[in-house]
Amino acid sequence: TVSTMEPKNVKEAMTDPAWIESIQQELLQFKRLDVWVLVHASDNITPLTLKWLFKNKHDEENTIIRNKSRLVVRGYRQEEGIDFEESFTPVARMEAIRIFLAYVAQKSFIVFQMDLKIAFLHGSLK
């Protein structure tokens, strides 16, 4: 089932079974892809906080087709020179991948695939 309500926070989302299912699916993706490890925060590190985003996805006729939940990091809490040096998006846009692969094919380059685990607390970004 799909909910027509679009919750503003987790408390509202947890009152609707459709949104609970959406949240569970998002968490299962993190587990399936093995993208995080729970660690203790060091005294000198300020952990970044997370936030849930909830959005109804519509089709061409503006009918709600699914409820989409996303767990995101609040990046605005980072300070340049303290919390990060460089940051990268964890997911590339499909258009960027197509352009990249077309260029690689034209130049006869070799492409290697890598899977990276996302780390929020430990290690410097270099």
* Span 37-60, pLDDT tens digits: 778 888 877 777 888 989 998 888
80 forms bridges with which residues in the sheet? 84
Q: Is 98 exposed, middle or buried (0-12, 13-18, 19+ CB in 10 A)?
A: exposed
Q: Where are the domains of the chain?
A: 10-107
Beta-bridge partner residues of 66: 57
| pLDDT score, position 122 | 45
| Measured CA angle at 73 (ends 54, 20), to 5 deg | 35
> Is 29 a residue whose pLDDT tops 70?
yes
Cα separation, 4 vs 123, in Å, equals 42
Specify the pTM: 0.58
